Structure 1
Amino acid sequence: MIEVEHLSKLYGSTSAIADVTFSVEPGEILGFLGPNGAGKTTTMRILSGYLPATSGTAKVAGFEVHEDSMAVRQRIGYLPESPPLYPDMTVEGYLNFVAQIKGVNAGDRPQRIQSALTRCNLLEKRKTIIRKLSKGFRQRVGIAQAIVHDPPVIILDEPTVGLDPRQIIEVRNLIKNLAGDHTVILSTHILPEVSMTCSRVAIINHGQVVATNTPESLMTQLMGSSGYELEVEGEFAAIQQCLQAVSGVKTIEPMLTDLLPQNRLKIKVVSESETELGSELATALVSHHLKLYEMRRVQASLETVFLQLTTEETPVENVDEVEPSDAAIEGGTPNENADL
């Protein structure tokens, strides 16, 4: 449904994104994950036809974004980081206006508006002036305008920024309900957003996609091991010598903590890939008369993978960590959508 190949965007000599390549299957939710300034919003804007790419290609539903811009725009719903709302309009009036400018036939508009209101849980707010809505409801209106013309592709840029925990859960559930009927790209720097919402993730750093896979596969592929946290009484040297004799142990490290009784240590043991060492570690410690108070198996987390991928140096020339804002490009207000 979406195919991006070798996409690059230059602002003068500064590279915002470089050689970005990924794809999204029909009905899938892809999490586009990266730190602030990594190039997420620039990529979303190119896909939506808002910005031209410097090089590379992007196709949506078979149409090339640059060559068939209008055909692409008819097939996407786009929610930028700041929802494009008219605060003095009612929710229903605004959706009717959006449906008109998106080319929805007059006979189909009532049904499309009703469907968008229902899916976004806005039926009770349909006659409410938008400026009187909470931020959470305004975000829902932003999603409703993105789906009112029933597009096959929906692009959501940081859809839960600034929401409270309850509103975040509600928006996440709404996004998950869009899967299947729509192909969704969800741009975010919030890790729980991806693990709780998306079926697949693309991690971007310094303008380059550094990994693409399911969250589970990324954790297995990049970490490649299981970890154990042990609470043991004794000297670290003796514990280390004991555990190093266990076949399959990769690393043994002490963990800093001030909460343990005297003479007790917290130890992190990492095993080789797919190796279960719990019983062997416990047996080794007991046979050496070392007291084991606690053992806990630790799985690799998406946070660990994200930090591993985004803290390593990426060899991209002329990359600035902060991309130029719309204000710098178009002469807008300094703070408007400054985080690209």
Structure 2
Amino acid sequence: MAHDDTQRHSRRQFIKQSAAVATALSFPMIARAAPPLIRYATAGVVGPGELETVITSDWFKANVLKRHGKEYVIETTTARGTPGVATLLAAEQADIGTLAFTSLATAVAQDAIPGGVTAIAEIHRDAVQGYASNPFVVLADSPVRTIADLKGKSVAVNAFNGSVDIILRIALQKHGLDPRKDVRVVEMPFGNIGPALRQKRIDVGVLAMPFQVDEAKKGGIRTVFDAVGVVPPYPVLFQSARSRFLTEKSAAVRAWLADYVDAQRWIYDPANRKQVVALTADLAKTPAASLDEYFLTPKDFYRDPNATISAASLQPPIDAMAQLGLLPKPVRIAANVDASYLPRRA
């Protein structure tokens, strides 16, 4: 009898369990909500010039960015310089992008981005003593020794009204020269400036990374000046977001920036250097040995460990733009800078 009772109990348990499974299967599976998408627009200088292009690479997404795929998903697109990034933000085709002070100030002055734009994290900084800057160079036998000697000379920059062009104009004004009348400023890609200088098609040219390293190794050139001493330290490139997106997806932005700061620290860890150089060299299509000579060293640009950005560091070069007549009106940038989305430790 006891055996029969046990069998009946087992049958009842089996029936209950089967019913529970059947009930569960009769309802559709409830899918977990996908993490918010962040559309990120880079300015087109892959690798050492824009560290965020390394951090948003597939390898970093899979191996370093702990929150990616859980709290946010980031997809990148490449624009032609920071003005192109500003255009994508204005068209709401990007949510966050890499800007320079020139493109940010212009977008703010023209009210070009619906709902506004906010700088949220620094990428790298210029004019920091002891670190790289973009030097204006001449041939070793050039008569040009000082900024004042630039009068009547031709000077090459990568883009009119770009950040290095603004630094040039500020330097000229400080030394009593009229940027519009006293020098001939010409525009050419960074990679063409060194050869043009050696062919004597220009008198002076600005060299960005990695071209300044490559040209220095060839010899026969010298630096006249760079941004150090011309302007206070300022962010060359920084992350900016559509202000509406910050309001709508603040948690995703905070998660991305937490990953960004963590990834930057991982990159600067000496234990990871060999792997970082190899990955970056592959992305930038440049020899790893050449990159290893300067990348992430004092020969490179300064990067704040916490990616901190401030209105105080952006305001002086923006004021210079207004004084040079490059903005339709003065811009007070404090309302467009917000570092609070960075991790608290920053």
Task: Please indicate the TM-score interval, normalised by the length of the shorter structure.
Answer: under 0.3
TM-score (norm 2): 0.23
Give the number of the structure whose alpha-carbon radius of gyration is greater: 2
The answer to which structure has the higher strand fraction is: 1
Higher relative contact order (CA 8 A, sep 6+): 2
